[in-house]
Amino acid sequence: MSVPQRTAKSILEIAAEVLVRDATASLAQVAAAAGIGRTTLHKRYPTRQHLLVAVAEESLDILDRAVTEAIGDDPGESLRDLVDALVPLGPRLEFLLRQPSLDAEPELQARWVQVDRPLTEFMGRVAEAGLLRPGVAPWWAVSSLYAVAYTAWEGVALGKLAPLDAAGLAYGTLMGGIGR
């Protein structure tokens, strides 16, 4: 009982938080934030790069799960569920997009393509259901979904947007744009 909470948050979760707040944080900072020694951190993740990749993989797992769960039978409803699911994943997306060392990991890029595949196929079905404007390719719909979800989360993080309004605004903008 010396430790207040026994691994309430996993090391990877804390590492993700720290590295999103400061992408150049040293391993000492990560270890300190996790309440463990730097040596222990090295034992689990031999290299800084190993740690970064592990965080990235976990992030992709979370993303994958969220996407899989959100996609259902009804295209329209699923779209709304997707937005709801993706907005809170902002920090993970930020980590994946902003951590420079990840560019050197082809496996991660491949993995992301893998995650995007069901999403793109889903958008194809949405298009076939006549719910997409002509000229909007499935991949573009996916990219727009990411963009609007991430932007909404950013708005929340900057205090410009109420958390409860974020997903709604994102969904409205995705489907109807900003104009009328």
Query: Which parts of this chain interact with a copy of itself (CB under 8 A)?
Result: 22-24, 97-98, 100-101, 103, 130-137, 139-141, 143-144, 146-148, 150-151, 154-155, 160-161, 169, 172-180
State how far Cα 23 lies from the chain centre: 16
The rounded distance, in Å, linking the Cα atoms of 35 and 28 is 10
Q: Please select the residue that binds DNA; options are 9, 13, 38, 111, rule is CB under 7 A.
A: 38
At residue 45, φ and ψ (nearest 5 deg) are -130, 95
CB 29 within 8 A of CB 50: no
User: Would you say the C-alpha torsion 59, 60, 61, 62 has a positive or negative sign?
Assistant: positive
Q: Look at residue 27 and give the partner it binds from DNA, a copy of itself, none, a contact being a CB closer than 5 to 8 Å depending on partner kind.
A: DNA
Q: Please select the residue that binds DNA; options are 35, 72, 118, 172, rule is CB under 7 A.
A: 35
> Does residue 10 interact with DNA by CB under 7 A?
no
> Does residue 5 interact with DNA by CB under 7 A?
no
Q: Look at residue 115 and give the partner it binds from DNA, a copy of itself, none, a contact being a CB closer than 5 to 8 Å depending on partner kind.
A: none
Q: Which own/partner pairs from 4-11 qualify as long-range (CB within 8 Å, at least 24 positions apart)?
A: 11/36, 11/41, 11/44
Question: What residues line the site for DNA (CB under 7 A)?
Answer: 2, 26-28, 35-40, 42-44, 46-49
